[in-house]
Amino acid sequence: MDYLQQPQAIEDKSFVIIGDIIRDMRPDYRFASPLHEAIIKRVIHTTADFDWLDILWFSPEALARLTAALRSGCTLYTDTTMALSGINKTLLAQYGGEVKCYISDPRVVRKAKEEGITRSMAAVDLALGEAGEKVFVFGNAPTALFRLLERNAQVSGVVGVPVGFVGAAESKEALTQSSLPAIAALGRKGGSNVAAAIINAFLYEMRRGQ
């Protein structure tokens, strides 16, 4: 059986197919910028779902602020180890950045139990107590996103794409009403894979522009 085996060739062909499908399905669709296009197409590549053309929301300053934060070596805080695993940490480190997930940290486990809150909420509290420039990357836990908004913290950016049926859509709607530089998934869709794909799209575009 003849089939592509080289990873980069597979990815390149996938993006060509994605572009062809968009032109066929939505001939009048226009991306707001090359970076918008790169992010949305990478999420489609990750999910095989073209709804992302319409449901990925960007605040006015999101792309500029998140790019600046990543270039300056910020710390990313994820709500799941899956999101952490999916982010290209080698490329992130080239800009002096790192990614952390505190969901299983003993301090978080203890605080969540003592206060009767989710570990995701406790992890946000722990992250906010640390010094340095921060970007939060949420793909699974609406309670984490709600907690961040409750704290009214001025962070460098938020990728808010929790998936689910309880609080997911509401938490992301609340994010769109905040003043934070943010990218959000409207409605129920999202996921840790989507969150990681968004960050990776930034990193790959930054590398391409060097």
Residues known to be catalytic: 45
Task: List the strands of the sheet with 56-58, edge to edge.
Answer: 56-58, 182-185, 157-160, 134-138, 75-78, 98-101
DSSP-assigned states of every residue in 199-210: HHHHHHHHHHT-
Strands 56-58 and 182-185, sheet pairing: antiparallel
| Beta-ladder partners of 22 | none
Q: How many other CB atoms are there within 10 angstroms of residue 92's CB atom?
A: 22
